[in-house]
Structures are given as structure tokens and as C-alpha cells.
Amino acid sequence: MINGYTITKPSDANQTQQKIFEQATQGFGFVPNIVNAFSESPTLASAMLALYTKFDDASFDTIESHVILQTINVINQCHYCVPAHSTIARNAGVDDALDDALRSSQPLSDSKLEALRQFTAQMVEQRGHLSEEQFNAFTNAGYTRQSALDVVFFITVKTLTNYGNHITGTDIDDAFKPFEWTPESPVSV
């Protein structure tokens, strides 16, 4: 942890944090360090937990969702979210080779998933300012206008978690440590 942020012991949690921790336990089976770190801002922690429940409402299956999430995590160089999403996705049956490619920003062998990866990367890197050609490449791969807007939703949620982790320097949970990750290049300012 950095910038004075710490992990709150459950016994030291205030009433608001306890409610957040209970909600996290219901959703994840434990209180991930990201939720604990973010609980210093109940607004941020509650928003994150509420938004995560909406992923299943989007137009993507488990593999497509992982492509989007991990692409964003890697571009934003989130040391916490990359291993967390690797663990969750691999436990849900996402192929190790697919996740490995995403973690190293490599093209995907499946052309439709590669179009999704490229569209997501373009959206993040170009801050949503895509050309008509880029948008058409996405829809020509079989995605819809709804899918494009659902990518915006995923970017919104990952911006919240990635940036929050950058500020807090969230310690990686033991469950995620087997997939620890370091960006290939440092962040430049």
C-alpha cells in the first residue's frame, strides 16, 4: 500500500466499512484487498461493488468480458487487476493461452476476439474518439452498437478500479499472487 492507505482489520472497521465488507463477502466469498483499500471512500467501494454486478447484464460472454477487462487492465498498467482478473477468469474456464496473450498485449488467434481486443484498446487509448473505419471493423466482426456501448461501461468500471489501485497501491491478495504481473514498460508522465 502507498500514500498512507492501509488494509483495515475487520475488527477495526467502522459501521459503513463493515457493510461494505459484508457486501464484498457475499459477492466474492471474501473481502478482496481492493474493496478493503477502497472502503476509505465508501462512495468508491460501494460504486465498485454495485457496478461489478452489472457485468453479467452486458452483451458479452465470459471470454469476451475477460478480453475487454484484461485489455483495459494491461493498458492502464494495473498491478492488482491483471492478476485478479487472471485468477477469476482462469477459474471460470478461460484458456490460459488467451489470458497470457492478453497479459502481454499480443494479438488473439480468434479473429472476432481480436477485433474486440483492438476495439477496446482503441477506445481506451483514443479516449473514445474512433474513426468510422475502426467502428466498422468492430461491427463487421459481429458486434453490435449495443456491444460498443457496453465496452464503454466496462471501461468506466475499470477506470474506477485501475486508477483507485494506482492511488492506493493495493496489496495483491494471496489468492491472486500466482498470477502477479509487472508492466513491460514504466508509466511515463
CATH of the domain at 79: 1.20.1290.10
Per-residue pLDDT tens digits for 158-174:
999 999 999 999 999 99
Alpha helices in the chain, H assignment, sequence order: 15-28, 33-38, 42-52, 62-75, 81-91, 96-103, 111-125, 132-140, 145-168
Whether residue 86 sits in one domain with residue 163? yes
- 160 and 88 in a single domain? The answer is yes
Q: What is the pTM of this model?
A: 0.93
The pLDDT of residue 187: 57
**CB burial string 34-65: b at 16+ within 10 A, e below:** bbbbbbeeeebbbebbebeeebeebebeebbb
The predicted-structure confidence for 72-93, as pLDDT tens digits, reads as follows: 999 999 999 999 999 999 999 9
Query: Would residue 102 count as lying in a domain?
Result: yes
Same domain, 42 and 73: no
Identify whether 186 is part of a domain.
no
**78 assigned to some structural domain:** yes
Q: What is the mean pLDDT of residues 37-55?
A: 95
Question: Does 138 fall in a domain?
Answer: yes
pLDDT class of 42 with cuts at 50, 70, 90: very high
Residues 104 and 22 both lie in one domain: no
Q: Containing domain of residue 107, as a range?
A: 60-179
The tally of domains found in the chain comes to 2
For residue 27, tell me if it sits in a domain: yes
Percent of the chain with pLDDT over 70: 98
**What is the phi/psi pair of residue 110, to 5°?**
-80, 120
Question: Rounded distance, CA 94 to CA 30, Å?
Answer: 22
- pLDDT, residue 186, reads 60
pLDDT tens string 109-127: 999 999 999 999 999 999 9
* Arithmetic mean of pLDDT over the chain: 95
Cα separation, 126 vs 131, in Å, equals 10
Residue 38 lies in a domain: yes
Q: Residues 125-130: what's their mean pLDDT?
A: 97
Is residue 185 pLDDT above 80, yes or no?
Answer: no
* Confidence label for 60 from pLDDT (cuts 50, 70 and 90): very high
pLDDT-based confidence at 189, cuts 50/70/90? very low
